[in-house]
Structure 1
Amino acid sequence: MPRARREGPGKRPYAAPGLAGGPVYLDYNATTPVDPRVAEAMWPHVTDFFGNPSSSHSFSQEPRRALVEARAQVTGLIGARTREIVFTGSGSEADLLALRGAVLASGRPHPHVITQATEHPAVLETCRALERLHGARLTVLPVDGDGLVEPAALAAAFTEDTVLVSVMAANNETGALQPVTELAALAHEQGALFHCDAAQAVGKIPLDVGELGVDLLTIVGHKMYAPKGAAALYVRDGVRLKPVGLQRRAGARPARGRRTSPCPSHSAPPHSSRPPNSPTVLGPRAGAVLSAAPPPIRRVNHETSPKGSSRSPDARSSTRGARRK
């Protein structure tokens, strides 16, 4: 693969080839183009360094080294520790592992889950499946006129069986930023875990899992110029999750009690599972670097917006129907 071309004194790369010559792309909450620098970082692991990072022979050494570096960069992006990161194949899988894993690990016969009405379907549908298939009880909180969960509404929703609260950081359609720190503190006062789907926030606004007080946090690579097919779940030390897997196959073992693995896990990175997809995991690796210092967002002047739009340049906006994962 040719190296990403660079131009100007700062050697800024050209835009993604898919954006050249076409209409203006504004659907960045649905997905972002892969940055040429990310593709460049991935390419050697698509071609030369193909080994399974969980193997013990020489072909595994470079993939394993790169995954260690990738894990460190992802943890640095959210203020976590390397052993608290689980790589997944999508944001939806990360949400599934967090929700299903926490609820089934609770040991309650009828665990209670609280979420809110504007969550992504990956959260809402998983919660409904837990209600339908596993006897969980579900409360879906409304949001106010600004799209936010009222802390008082959450406080009133707890029961003695509440084991998990799941509230996103930023909405993919409205851009509303939930008061995660306050909501997480309320959950902990009641002895419940707190999951936050931060797919639309990581890389866009500063996030620190310690400051937020969350127990579980979903990260999605293709929202920040990495490829699709790579995501991660932050799992705070001490949080127990039921492994996710359709069935336990011969030779399949859950590494660290998370995703099932079709190969030995003795050399897998901490909190990992089957060997992660090295090239795509290295996309968030490069994406984490890019997102650590994002370029300034250029606001659209409402006086020159298409079709006479009167939207203020300070208004938070995003495209509707941005389905992800």
Structure 2
Amino acid sequence: MRVLIPLVLALCSLAALAQDDDKDCNQCKTNQFAKCSGAACECTLKVSTDTSQPVNCTKLTSKCWMMKNEMYRKKNGIGTRRIPTEHAMLDNDGIYDPECEVDGKFHARQCNETDTCWCVNTAGVRRTDKGDTTLKCPELVETFWFQVQLRHKPMEEKMDQTKLEEAIRNMFASYQVDQKYIEKVEYYDEDRYIIVDLKQNVTVNSPTDLATATYYLEKDIKGNTLFSVNYNSSVKEDGMLYNGMRLGFDQAYVYYIDSKNPEFSMKGMTPGIIAVIVVVCLAVVAGLVVLFFTQRRAAKSHIYQKAEGRELDEIQKQQLTT
């Protein structure tokens, strides 16, 4: 008994020290869902019931790991997604439980823990029809071009495009995007649309992952930030810092362009989409037919005019000879 009491006290002391170490650990600025603990304050992200992934809190956590964490939280009732309206539809391809490589990249083939599989690009976006477990995805096709389309909320003053581009560049810098990846910033005043072209430039020596950066940005604009409260992001729920004020957004879309064309077949399309394609094709064919006959009539008319001219010339010649 005398031996057990000091042992218990020692264990309690170690537990107390461990708790103190956890309290002294700062929150992971680039990932509010990561937990930092221990004497070394190592930060990890829960991606399944039995697995925690080490993360570097000076960088954005890869999109693949963040998607796994979101699915883990959703399955365990600790999700942070806002409750949608009764008329909202779920984008089933937008969120799934992905398989990730050790470095955080997506596996080329994803199955979402089912027997239905598909191929994805480096952004984790489906690029083929869905098949079974025999589906082959020989390579992870690179997404080299990201087009971000943002629509800002109405504002009283006229937009200064020079200041807007500066604000956009500062905004992407907070998502660790190298400025050389920003190829073009366009603004459409009437529609309030800002279009930013980001292209992965192989000549730039930068750790920037555009798929992760645009994922973080989209989450911020939709009010589901992945950053901790201590991170000085230029985009909050009230918008982007522009000309000394906050410019809010009401829409955010990210479009992905791969280095190889996607491989969707007609069978993977809905009847409605196929019907639209058929109607468009018929309209194009009908237009070509009309154009053909119109040109043919014009050509005949042109020939007739020339013939009539030649006939008049012959009549004039005959009149001159008589």
TM range (shorter): under 0.3
* Larger radius of gyration between Structure 1 and Structure 2: 2
TM (normalized to structure 2)? Answer: 0.22
Between 1 and 2, higher relative CO (CA 8 Å, sep ≥ 6) is seen in 1
